[in-house]
Structure 1
């Protein structure tokens, strides 16, 4: 654990998940921007955790981040089953007021990098409406990967230069997993933004409407069912076969190893 960002974690099938609340997240973010100290943040959902258990390289990538926030009730439930509960779910969608409201309050510069062409621009337009005073330093789409699923070195150099020229305080990277984690891990020391946050398809949610999940869906904690209904062909396997496999592994791990040790 990086001593600059002290906090407790829980081991969820090999992924170190951060046990912090929103107040601590905001405090860490403010300190990083003020001191120009690097703070990298990613998110652990059941899909990522399951893939990381089968892919040591992805697991290592995720564990290199300063914060690994619990994205999804499956991770929240696993932490509880392992005896080291987290304060709650902290997905990008849950943190919109913090990810953009806090920068608007303090005059920080935010850069949106990722998703399909045009999506980051639409997301930027919306968040500027919702948070008056928010300064969007720039946007870039995220369709740069080659046939091997990697961003070529010469392309990465150009992207880094463009991002750094905009002098953002916070950089959101939405390239999908594991490309976004790899990009941040490979170039964190080259990127001048003190706070770097991975965000998957989050810009698509921001571009569509203020609340991606209806209030009732959030209250009932059935976001996965709502997403499945919206995109059944893409997500049916993730929320049936893979989720069942994930929960089975969590239960078997608890039976075999007991509660998670302090981390």
Structure 2
């Protein structure tokens, strides 16, 4: 298991969430690419935090990343309750300008790996239109796992070679949690991209195949209610029982341990 570099963070039920803002993230991206010093980035939302409480392997995987950004207002809220607030919610969709606008400005090379066949390619076409000059140097779908839920070694070796041959400065890996964290951790020593970012279904949003939250929903911090309304059958348990359990555990943790320093 790769060990993350230390930095200011808050413990959210065992998951180390990074206390960083957008300017600091931009600086870390620039430094990693200029120095060719690898930087790994993943994201924590309440669902992942609760899963990591039950699964020590997942918790260790998430904590092995250099930056673990707050994906969701539930994580932002928990950090504030624990007395060590993070500046803001920082999901992939909130950072499109940082990952792709900055890449276009700086001439960085980007590789999109993950999601269903054709999605990364469609995302790349949109990104080239939205950010003229951005260099998307490769795309590859992420449907390679076998019946065990893991990518076979031979296939993983081929994918690593393909990615490295494209010489990206930033590699986005959208395989879903925990497969994307497993892939990055297992192959970090062989991947040559200075910046590696896990991104779940992000390419679906970039390809405009999955509707993202309207701006007013984000301003009111009601993304969970919007998703529940849009797809109640699939989301009701996550945003009622599981979310309620998460909030209770956060409050109980605060009562037992007090504020963090």
Structure 1, gaps ≥5 residues long: none
Match of 1:127 in 2: 127
Matched pairs, number: 259
1:122-161 superposed matches below 5 A: 122-161=122-161
State the TM-score, normalized to the length of structure 2.
Answer: 0.96
> Do the aligned residues in 2 keep the contact of 1:206 with 1:212 (CA within 8 Å)?
no
Match of 1:103 in 2: 103
State the distance in 1 between where 2:108 and 2:211 align: 23
Deviations 1:36-63 (A, max 9, x none): 1100000000000000011000000000
Match of 1:92 in 2: 92
SS at match of 1:78: helix
1:144-183 superposed matches below 5 A: 144-183=144-183
> Do the aligned residues in 2 keep the contact of 1:17 with 1:70 (CA within 8 Å)?
yes
Deviations 1:185-210 (A, max 9, x none): 11111111000000000111111179
Q: Which runs of 4+ in 1 moved over 3 A?
A: none
1:40 paired to 2:40: yes
Deviations 1:99-156 (A, max 9, x none): 1100010010000000011111111111111111100011000101111111111110
Match of 1:222 in 2: 222
> Do the aligned residues in 1 keep the contact of 2:116 with 2:142 (CA within 8 Å)?
yes
Match of 1:116 in 2: 116
Root mean square deviation of aligned Cα: 1.5
SS at match of 2:244: helix
Kindly state the Cα deviation for residue 254 of structure 1 after the two structures are TM-superposed. Answer: 0.6
Kindly state the Cα deviation for residue 211 of structure 1 after the two structures are TM-superposed. Answer: 8.0
Kindly state the Cα deviation for residue 235 of structure 1 after the two structures are TM-superposed. Answer: 2.1
Kindly state the Cα deviation for residue 239 of structure 1 after the two structures are TM-superposed. Answer: 1.3
Kindly state the Cα deviation for residue 229 of structure 1 after the two structures are TM-superposed. Answer: 2.6
State the distance in 2 between where 1:176 and 1:238 align: 17
Kindly state the Cα deviation for residue 233 of structure 1 after the two structures are TM-superposed. Answer: 2.7
Kindly state the Cα deviation for residue 259 of structure 1 after the two structures are TM-superposed. Answer: 1.1
State the TM-score, normalized to the length of structure 1.
Answer: 0.95
> Do the aligned residues in 1 keep the contact of 2:4 with 2:63 (CA within 8 Å)?
no
SS at match of 1:208: coil
Shift in CA distance, 187/89, structure 1 to aligned 2, threshold 3 Å? same
Match of 2:62 in 1: 62
State the distance in 2 between where 1:111 and 1:235 align: 31
Match of 1:16 in 2: 16
State the distance in 1 between where 2:245 and 2:62 align: 20
